[in-house]
Structures are given as structure tokens and as C-alpha cells.
Structure 1
């Protein structure tokens, strides 16, 4: 698969599947994963005639690991350079978790001249951190504990997360997939240590309210009401009030990893929204 060398020398790895003349759909992945976490959705939409583009964010997957630039604004700048490089227009942008924040920041900074629709899945928007103006957010101690666990034993932490809250495997009656756990661990361990460490601050402390206000295109929010990583009360239920043209679909009992746990339903929702 090809790579793109960005203006600061960072190399971004990306895949392009499907019909070269089809509707372009970009996928922005969550922390600390890479483009492969979208394979179910990318294969499905490519099989429907779309042109699918999924990249490994800087510091993640097969992209290079720069010391600096591990923030949502730079992530959006990187995505913009990829969009320009491939000369994409009439795009539907899809982002999961941190990737949802990346999409929101992209539109907030670069507008909608190339983007016609967006889908935010289990997204961090508008702000995860608890502040005076966002009392429903999560305390800073939650994110400090992530950093402490990474420094102490990243490999074990990256087993604990998928075995527990990410896929909802800690819930009674959940059907655990060893394959999903190992895939998550592998993707996480491929990422640069500092890159994913810095990204904790990026996904938890970035206020995206103003970016959401600028998303004057149809935006579909998909969120599980049992999301233990990005609780729906602090994210989608707030974002829908800010988006000018937002639609919210709640997945009853859905965990954070909707694209992995409910791929058929997510794929169906993506295709219907694409064709609407």
C-alpha cells in the first residue's frame, strides 16, 4: 500500500480500495488503533462501488512516529494533505472515537468544500474532560490513570482495555472474542509509545464545540448507550444539540466498539446514510 510524505516529513500509510470512480469515503480510526480496524466497513462499502480510503494516523500503525504533532489539529492537517494528494471531492468522512474528533476538527478548520456528509461513531465530540462548563465530563484522574498504566506496563494495559470496556467484554453475558482482543493489542503495540501517550491528552482535553457548529452538512451520530469509554451522556447527547444538521441513532446496549461488535448494523447504517 502507498505512503504519503507530509510537509513535516512524516510518512502516512494509507489504503485505497474499491472503484476508482466511486463515491469517496474516508475512515479515521480510534486510539490506539490503525486503518485495519475499519476493514469490515471498508470492504463492505468498497464492494458497494465506493472508493474507500483509510489511513494510519501519524504515530499509529505503519505510519512514521514523529515526536511532535500528536494533537487533533495536526491530525486534521494530515488528513487534509491526504485528501488533496488524492484530489478527493464529494467525500463522506467517517470517524470512530478519536477519529470522530479528527473529522470534526477537519471540517472546523477546512470547511465543507470537499465534504458532503460525515458519520461520527462513538465519537469524543464535543469534549470528554470534566470542566466547570462541562460538569458531566470525565475527571482528569481517569485520563491520568491511562497514562500511568501505559508507563507502568503498556503491553498489559493494552490487554486490559480490549478485555474490558472497549468491546464490553466485562459485561455479564458478553460473548468474548479472543481474536478481537488480540487484534486490538497488536494494533496498539504497533503504535509509537509517545504518539499514543500524547494522544490521550488530544482525545480527552480538546474542545470541539466550535468545530461541530461549523459542520453545516448532514452528520450521522452512532453511539451505544453502554459505551464505557466515551459515555453517551458526555458525547453524542451533547453533540446532537450543537450540530446544525445532526441525526442521532442510539444502539441499545452498544459498547464503544460498534464497528467491531455490530458490523452488519453499522455497515447498513453507513450505506443508507451514504445513499440518502
Structure 2
């Protein structure tokens, strides 16, 4: 594969200054972000905090987390996709922080700033790590929102959570019920697809982690798509922060784990959101099936939106999340 790195050899001082002025002008004229509102004032002086830290699991793994907002406010916990980190939720974190919620996002083991792990890179342990985090922060009545692989992690945790810990859940472009094709799941993706993911990750992770966001993840490979280079590089940055062993193992976790019983067990309200142009987790074999298995599930389909819709269309996703949380 050819390197995606730009060629800037021979740039003149005048060219650099011109480009710098152009960037400055863009910053002045760009529309305000969707999270521009100021955070709500806390009811208790000094109640609002913006902090980060680590929780240590039973097997000695350190899980990094961000914890923003009033400790007395309703918590929202975000679960990221493969092979990313808590940073993938920046837009949603800022949006809900500005609305006065307590927002928490963590780096899954082996991902981001958490310990690069050899073992435990599977859904049962991921859910146990979330339980350790929610116990550590003593979260009650929380809303758990999971994207892609994070949707599987979230529903497995919610299905096993202690009473009072969870009030609602949201699955966005999520992997449940199960991705891989089998006799029981004839509409799934062939195992060879995930074998190719493993091969590409092992052979040249840096290039593969560019190709995924530059192509199908955000729909940038679609005709007429407006490509956002910064978004591509931010995906690459997050992926390369994590450990390759954990990333390699996680492919099996997100593709072959069957979440059918987890979905059946959950009786809390669950919103299932999915773009029907999702090229990573195909719509037909995921969202509608998950919504049917849930006792109290609601399906919301976004016509033409890609897998990474939280990043490409936060102005659509964020208000819908807010409406569900407040309902």
C-alpha cells in the first residue's frame, strides 16, 4: 500500500504563511460547534469537576477514565469502539457536560492509556472492568452508551449490573447480536472477513489504521463524500496508542461473541441507533435484530449515515440521545 503521508518538500516561507493565514481565517469563519453552550451551574459550590484517573482491576490492569461534571448529576458512561479510546466521545462528552450531566468515558484494557494487556481481551473481562469502574466511582442510575464494539461491552455489563447502577442504555452502530456468519446467523459476515482484519493488523497496523477511517468507517469512500482529514488522523492516533496484542484479540471478541442472551435479559429502556449505510457493522444483521430481542427496545434508523455517525453527524445524534435520556 502507498503511504498516505502528505508530501510538503520545498514549501516556501510565503506558502507556509499563506496557509497559516488561511487556517486562521477558517477558524474565524467556521460555524460554532454543537457543544458551544456553557456548562450548567452546580447546585452545590465546588461540585463540578473535570478529572481523570485510573482504576486497578482484580488482575492488576489499570483502566484509564475521564470523569467530568457534578458528582450529584445523572451519570452517562460512554463505551468506545475498536481500536479507539475515550477520546472518540469528545463531542458527546462536551455536549452532555454542557447540559449539566456527569459524563464518564474509559479506555478499554489494551486500548488508549489503559494497560497494554496480554490476557482478558474478551467481553466477559471487558464487562468486569466496567463493573470495577462503576463500583470505584459509585455510579447510580447511569445511562450506558456504547458504539460498535463498545455496544457489545455495554450490553454485557448492563445485563450483569448490580441493581440501581443502570437506568437506560443506548447501542449505536453496535455489534450485537453477533457479527460472524454461522448456521444460526446466516446473514452475518464470513469469518474470512475478520481473518483479513487480523492479518492486516498484524502485518501493518499503522497502514490498516489509516485505511479504515479513510474508507468505510466514516463513509469517506462513498461518491461525493466530504473527506475530513483531521478525523482520519484522530482515528489513527487513537488506534496507535493501544497495544497490538489487545487489538488483535479484540477482533475475535467483537465479531464472534453472541450477545443474544444479554439482550434478552435486559428489561430497562434501550435505544438502538444505527445508520443504514454502515459498512462496518451491516445494518440488517444487527440493529433490527437487537431491538427485537430486547424487552424494552426502540429502534432508530438513520438513512444514509455511516458507522462513525457520532463523529460525522453529532448535530443529529446528540439531540436524539438527549431526548431519550430525558424521556
- TM-score of Structure 1 vs Structure 2, range by shorter chain: over 0.9
Q: 1:28·1:94 contact (CA, 8 Å) conserved in 2?
A: yes
Pair 1:214-2:300 in alignment: no
Structure 1 residue 109, shift from structure 2 partner = 2.4
User: Which is higher, the Rg of structure 1 or of structure 2?
Assistant: 2
| In structure 1, C-alpha distance between the alignment counterparts of 2:69 and 2:173, rounded to whole Å | 26
SS in 2 for 1:108: helix
Matched residues, number:
276
Tell me which of 98, 105, 114 is aligned to 2:149.
98
Alignment TM-score, normalising by the size of structure 1: 0.99
Q: Which runs of 5+ in 1 are unaligned?
A: none
Pair 1:199-2:238 in alignment: no
Tell me which of 171, 179, 182 is aligned to 1:131.
182
SS in 1 for 2:196: helix
| In structure 2, C-alpha distance between the alignment counterparts of 1:150 and 1:49, rounded to whole Å | 39
Looking at both structures, which has the greater relative contact order when contacts are Cα pairs under 8 Å and sequence separation is at least 6? 1
SS in 2 for 1:31: coil
SS in 1 for 2:55: strand
Structure 1 residue 14, shift from structure 2 partner = 0.4
Q: 1:203 to 1:112 in 2, by over 3 A?
A: farther
Structure 1 residue 66, shift from structure 2 partner = 1.7
CA RMSD of aligned residues (A): 0.8
Q: Which residue does 2:321 correspond to in 1?
A: 270
Tell me which of 123, 133, 141 is aligned to 1:82.
133
Q: Which runs of 5+ in 2 are unaligned?
A: 1-51
Write the mapping of 1:1-276 to structure 2, written as runs, cut at 5 A. 1-110=52-161, 113-276=164-327
Q: Which residue does 2:11 correspond to in 1?
A: none
Structure 1 residue 264, shift from structure 2 partner = 1.3
Q: Deviations over 1:94-114 (max 9, x none)?
A: 000000000111122235531
SS in 1 for 2:240: helix
Alignment TM-score, normalising by the size of structure 2: 0.83
Q: 2:80·2:148 contact (CA, 8 Å) conserved in 1?
A: yes
